[in-house]
Amino acid sequence: MAISVNNDSKPAFSDIICAQSQLKNIIKYTPLERSKSFSAFSGADVYLKLENLQSTGSFKVRGAYYKIKNLSEEELARGVMCASAGNHAQGVAYAATRLGVKSTIFMPTFAPPLKVIATRSYGAEVILTGDNFDDAFEAAMEFHEKTGTTFVHPFNDPHIIAGQGTVGLEIFEQLREVEMVFVPIGGGGLISGVAIALKQLNPEIKIIGVEADGAQSMKVSMREGEISPLQSIDTIADGIAVKSPGNMTYEITKDLVDEIVVVNDAEIAHTAYLLMQRTKILAEPSGVAAMAAIMYNKTDVKGKKVVPVISGGNFNMSILEQILDKGVVEEGFRARIAVLIPDQAGMLKSIISILESIKASIHDIEHERSTASVPVGFVQVTITFNLQDSSQIATILNELDKKGMKYQVLK
């Protein structure tokens, strides 16, 4: 069943203008920066809308503050609550505390520890429950029914959508000539607000939604012609891992979004690595989905002025470590080789001397003697090392061949 709220009124452009007025001096007017590197990669003129630099680290605070600011005295007195994988949680906690309101946040048990810590630091009571957003949402609804606490929906709410739509207003103010805007889709609140704003300002601007391959709830729903919840979701982009769009966000997306494309986890991870390496921008997997769609040419952007919304920067640190490691390997600046050598003194030194000769620095060394694949009297040495140039690997393999050593380059 689709997630819905008891408010059938879709936000209008005037609501987004009102939201911008109320958010002034509360949220940051985030930069729109041209990326020389990603423009060269894609053949487009790429400008990054850096919502990863927003207060709380994502765009979510825009909608959360505008929603809570417009609650009645009675609703505020009951306190506010929400369900979130992390970014909406921080937005609600931050906004509630600024407005002097008690907040209770339900988060999935897998929520990145740093997001949990940050949410608590903004003044919320955090309850960890369930394996995904939808489980946390169900627990939140039970709490809502029992206590009457005011629920702040993460996306399917007119005030939330209007608040997120201020991103679109800023993009247009910063780049009137924009031709295409790429927006990540989880539940659809951000793209709904951005589409309402930009289509009002210039109907010719193309709005492109981007979903993770393992969480295509909006794309599937559009294809089926009705809201079609996914049975399961699987993606590193936890911020957009939602099984079903809202009834309101579905209708707005259907009316105003020009296209929805999909990026896989490998594309997301490599884009996140390149953003760090080339532009020094730290953005979480869901935050780079829009850029990944441009980077991997999911739709034609050649020669166009395009804006990907970099929607958040609240990284799961274990994922960040993996992305960095894989990125360095993919670019040819780190390699792993397993070498089978006699278990004798001096044999390991002979391998290390090859690495030293080309100034390759050793990252890690592992020894294995006990597996069936290693003959008695031998040891398998796996060496991970950093290179100054990707061409150096050929030199190393050539030297190992000269020494008659059996080896395997590991991916």
Q: Which residues contact 170 (CB under 8 A, 6 or more apart)?
A: 29, 30, 32, 49
Q: Which residues contact 351 (CB under 8 A, 6 or more apart)?
A: 339, 341, 381, 383, 400, 405
Determine contact, residues 289/216, Cβ cutoff 8 Å: no
Determine contact, residues 32/175, Cβ cutoff 8 Å: yes
Active site residue 311: yes
Residue 269 burial (CB count, 10 A)? 22
Token pair, residue 286, equals: 């869901």
Tokens 């080789």 map to which residue? 337
Q: Which residues contact 393 (CB under 8 A, 6 or more apart)?
A: 332, 335, 387, 409
- Crossing angle (nearest 10°) for helices 13-23 and 189-201: 110
Determine contact, residues 207/198, Cβ cutoff 8 Å: yes
Tokens 């990125």 map to which residue? 327
One-letter identity of residue 372? A
Active-site pick, 55, 58, 60, 84: 60
Active site residue 349: no
Active-site pick, 42, 55, 217, 311: 311
Q: Is 306 exposed, middle or buried (0-12, 13-18, 19+ CB in 10 A)?
A: buried
Distance CA 146, CA 25 (A): 36
Please give the positions annotated as active site: 60, 311
